[in-house]
Structure 1
Amino acid sequence: MTIGLLKQALNALTQESRQRTPLRVSRWFKWLAPGLLVKRWLLLSAGGVLLTSLGLAIWIKLTPIFTLIQLVQSFLEFITEIIPSYISGPLVIIFGLLLILWGQTRTLGSITEVLMPDGDEELVDVLLNHRRLNRGPKIVTVGGGTGLSTLLRGLKTYSANITAIVTVADDGGSSGRLRREIGVLPPGDIRNCLAALADEERLVTELFQYRFRAGDGLTGHSFGNLFLTAMNDITGNLEQAIAASSEVLAVRGRVLPATLSDVRLWAELADGRRIEGESSITAAQGSIVKIGCTPENPPALPRVLQAIREADYIIIGPGSLYTSVIPNLLVPEIAEAIAQRKVPRIYVCNIMTQPGETQGYSVSDHIQAIDAACGQRLFDAVLVQSKIPSAKALIRYAQEDSNPVELDRQTVKLLGCRIVLANVMDEDERTGLVRHNSQRLAQILFRWYTRTHSL
């Protein structure tokens, strides 16, 4: 019985060893991948060892080294007399290489234990991913609200060179209260983007989105808004506060406010009303014919303009057309900088119309609204959702006077825009809510960029 159990244990160990061996070999070969900046430093270290040995030999006038070499030579001659050189030579080489490999593996294992105590990922995989992301294209995204944070959540898996330009026109909710009571620029959209780009996204998102339910003055405020407000007070302005927060949160990319001016939106409606304030515009439930901001022509943040000038790819949207996307473009320097760039530029159109902003809007209506606000064409293509939501979702949204954004192909083509048609939608089966799928959206956008960039 004992012998049988022993045999089973040996068989299990043999199978486990066989399974581990290819995995270990695969990991070793990953270290030979180009661009890790590891092999060159190992070779440099080996060269240093040789030079040090040579210098020591010169310093002591070679006497002990010469004796040592003679002893080694005698030993090698003795070995070759017993085992032929064509056998002993390769064996010694293999043994030496195994020692080097073992030593390097143990060294890297020790480093991995310190840098990655959880051991969820191999260090080589982290390095490869880090190099890949840092070699990704320089992407500039323009927008705000949940749409932009959804996009960023997918984009960060393709590139670390992301600059998110975010509107600071929000005046509702926690952001609006902080704006009125403390005088800070609204941090809400910035908070969402920082959480989306953070390495520990799930934990940071839960923390930043946490809303206090009790306490004088705290009820309704999100932790992220208070955190950014405190950082703003410590560093002196919102730009520095975002930079400091990005370091704390290990953000992949950067988030920049479109302007540091205290911008307030206004809109003229078809019935003649003039509505002041971002939250009031949507609540007015009218048809918007013109939108602007006070002060007029606010200055752009210099780093925003620099990011646009250096961009390889510019993405506008998704997000509320008049209260998230267009407010960024009401900064004339930003619109002008985007228009001058000859890189791939695409607008991600919303899946559903939005009550109070875009009731009855088609894809071409969205495009024309942006062109009218900026006075010029800013993008070459538009990404449109291809699949219609389920009947349950359509009924749910119809009750709120919302419908899928209709694609009017001919009008869009006449406007000079290429159409990228793809299914980038997620639908909650329980609630019927429709949202962009962050990973699918990023995949389609990168596929289009690669194809366009290679032409």
Structure 2
Amino acid sequence: MSIGFFRQALNALQKQSRRRTPHRVNQWFKWLSPGLSVKRWLLISIGGVLLASLGLAIWIKLTPIFWALELVRGFLGRITEIIPNYISGPLVLLCGLLLLLWGQTRTVGSITEVLRPDSDEELVDVLLAHRRLYRGPKIVVIGGGTGLSTLLRGLKRYSANITAIVTVADDGGSSGRLRREFGVLPPGDIRNCLAALADEEKLLTELFQYRFQVGDGLTGHSFGNLFLTAMSEITGDLERAVAASSKVLAIRGQVLPATLSDVRLWAELADGRRIEGESKITAAGGNIVKIGCLPVNPPALPAAIKAIQEADYIIMGPGSLYTSVIPNLLVPEIADAIAASAAPCIYVCNIMTQPGETQGFSVADHIRAIDAACSGRRLFNAVLVHKKSPSERALIRYAQQNSHPVFLDREDVTKLGRRIVLANVMHEDDTGCVRHDPQKLAKVLLRWYSSASRQIRLGWGDGVMGCRRALRGFP
């Protein structure tokens, strides 16, 4: 009778657990997930308790333990006379396990309250996310402007091993004023990337983008630019300032300037004009035929070169072609490092043309411009192109600014030796403004990286040429 009743109770509990597993039990079992390095330390702790008990028993010659065991045996004997052992045994075992789990849960809860007092997220979920992100691929992203920060917002969900290499050629707006008045490198693009990689992205972006409306000398300056300028003055240069800021802001990954030289862009236009200054090039409104920088061949930041050499994946763009992407490649050591890397490399083409830079440009024209800036070398294997056309409202809005969707000339791109990756990665807001969608873009890029890496692992060869051969076969 007792056995039958006990079996019925177990069956009822099993059916109930199948219908609904308590959230707390799920959280307990997460601590046994692979990769957390918890199980090994738990076993070591249990072993330590057993060894300590054994040592104490040997030390006191077992006498107290003998009488304690006799007392426990007598007590348990009386219990089993009243309640059969097939009921009392499992019941006591269950009580012990529940006490153990309760104690461990309360301990972890206390630790969580100290480490994350304002967060509802479980500590085990934080650890699992941390392990996953820091085991992600080493990604190097090269560019500048809003395009780079948009991409970083999506990539940081897949890996914390991100290095953003940012141009320092900006000379307009708040960055230009600080550059002229303080002699510091322009912090604007770096500010955007730091905010994009921060955990508290929304709040930090609002703070860093805040522009002073009043105040003698403050009007027009953003808080983020002033913050980085002050850090540069304190630490000695922009590289140390960005590193210190990254620790303060707890960002995922790192942001590096392409060079610490005071770089100024110049461009030759089709009508023969020569324009100097990044902000003046776009404002000139001509067709750019050649671009360069002063000083010629600026030295690259050593940390940027190291990041490229160790990269698993390199992404160029999106962003203004001549004033955000190409300026990084005018640093010869960076272009050389990309060319020597065996990592898959992809270029994210802009969705719309940009007046004053790429009016009338097709996808192939973007590729030719990058190749020309790198002395004809092919630095990337594939080009990501948005697939779907913007809405009619967006097309009308951009046409008024002499901007149009970048035309995909498949045959010319194929002749240039690049694979085309077509995907819907656009976000269009209520006003018809077109941007890359961070999450969609990152998802497509990571999927392409996984496929490209698999092709390389299948034995297409080692080194740079092996990587190139593998990726030429990737659709």
TM-score (norm 2): 0.90
Cα deviations by residue, 1:119-175 (Å, 9 ceiling, x for unpaired): 421221111111111111110000000000000001001110000000000000000
1:109 deviates by 1.4
Q: Please name the residue that 2:137 is paired with.
A: 137
Q: Please name the residue that 1:383 is paired with.
A: 384
Does the alignment pair 1:420 with 2:421? Answer: yes
CA distance in 1 between partners of 2:72 and 2:142 (Å): 69
CA distance in 2 between partners of 1:312 and 1:410 (Å): 29
1:313 deviates by 0.6
Q: Please name the residue that 1:187 is paired with.
A: 187
Q: Please name the residue that 1:409 is paired with.
A: 410
Q: Please name the residue that 1:12 is paired with.
A: none
The 5 A counterparts of 1:154-173 are 154-173=154-173
SS of the counterpart of 1:387? coil
Q: Please name the residue that 1:81 is paired with.
A: 81
CA distance in 1 between partners of 2:102 and 2:19 (Å): 19
Structure 1 stretches of 5 or more lacking a match?
Answer: 1-16
Comparing 73-82 and 419-428, the one that deviates more = 73-82
The 5 A counterparts of 1:314-353 are 314-353=314-353
CA distance in 2 between partners of 1:130 and 1:292 (Å): 42
1:20 deviates by 8.5
Cα deviations by residue, 1:357-390 (Å, 9 ceiling, x for unpaired): 0010000000110011012111111000101111
1:70 deviates by 2.2
Look up the equivalent residue of 2:46 and give its one-letter code: A
1:36 deviates by 1.4
Look up the equivalent residue of 1:418 and give its one-letter code: R
CA distance in 1 between partners of 2:205 and 2:120 (Å): 21
1:322 deviates by 0.3
Cα deviations by residue, 1:181-229 (Å, 9 ceiling, x for unpaired): 1000000000000000001001100000000111111100000000000
CA distance in 2 between partners of 1:242 and 1:315 (Å): 21
Q: Please name the residue that 1:227 is paired with.
A: 227
1:21 deviates by 5.5
Comparing 64-73 and 400-409, the one that deviates more = 64-73
SS of the counterpart of 1:296? coil
Q: 1:196 to 1:19 in 2, by over 3 A?
A: farther
The 5 A counterparts of 1:444-455 are 444-455=444-455
CA distance in 2 between partners of 1:113 and 1:279 (Å): 49
CA distance in 1 between partners of 2:305 and 2:286 (Å): 34
Look up the equivalent residue of 1:57 and give its one-letter code: A
Cα deviations by residue, 1:368-426 (Å, 9 ceiling, x for unpaired): 10011012111111000101111111111111111100000011011111111011111
CA distance in 2 between partners of 1:309 and 1:68 (Å): 65
Cα deviations by residue, 1:206-265 (Å, 9 ceiling, x for unpaired): 000000111111100000000000000111111110011011111011100001111111
Q: Which runs of 4+ in 1 moved over 4 A?
A: 17-21
Q: 1:299 to 1:443 in 2, by over 3 A?
A: same
SS of the counterpart of 1:314? strand
Q: Please name the residue that 1:6 is paired with.
A: none
CA distance in 2 between partners of 1:392 and 1:359 (Å): 20
Q: Please name the residue that 1:13 is paired with.
A: none
SS of the counterpart of 1:359? coil
SS of the counterpart of 2:343? coil
CA distance in 2 between partners of 1:451 and 1:399 (Å): 40
The 5 A counterparts of 1:190-269 are 190-269=190-269
Look up the equivalent residue of 1:116 and give its one-letter code: R
Q: Please name the residue that 1:32 is paired with.
A: 32
Look up the equivalent residue of 2:397 and give its one-letter code: R
Does the alignment pair 1:305 with 2:305? Answer: yes
Structure 2 stretches of 5 or more lacking a match?
Answer: 1-16, 456-475
Q: Please name the residue that 1:178 is paired with.
A: 178
Q: Please name the residue that 1:5 is paired with.
A: none
SS of the counterpart of 1:449? helix
Comparing 410-419 and 317-326, the one that deviates more = 410-419
Aligned residues: 438
CA distance in 1 between partners of 2:21 and 2:420 (Å): 49
Does the alignment pair 1:280 with 2:280? Answer: yes
Comparing 404-413 and 41-50, the one that deviates more = 41-50
TM-score (norm 1): 0.94
CA distance in 1 between partners of 2:51 and 2:295 (Å): 67
Cα deviations by residue, 1:248-307 (Å, 9 ceiling, x for unpaired): 111011100001111111111111111111011111111111111111111111111111
Q: Please name the residue that 1:440 is paired with.
A: 440
SS of the counterpart of 1:91? helix
CA distance in 2 between partners of 1:226 and 1:20 (Å): 54
CA distance in 1 between partners of 2:234 and 2:57 (Å): 59
CA distance in 2 between partners of 1:347 and 1:415 (Å): 13
Look up the equivalent residue of 1:452 and give its one-letter code: A
Look up the equivalent residue of 1:87 and give its one-letter code: I
Q: 1:119 to 1:175 in 2, by over 3 A?
A: closer
Q: Percent identity?
A: 78
1:83 deviates by 3.3
SS of the counterpart of 2:22? helix
Comparing 91-100 and 229-238, the one that deviates more = 91-100
Q: Please name the residue that 1:296 is paired with.
A: 296
Q: Please name the residue that 2:397 is paired with.
A: 396
Over aligned residue pairs, what C-alpha RMSD do you find?
Answer: 1.6
1:118 deviates by 2.5
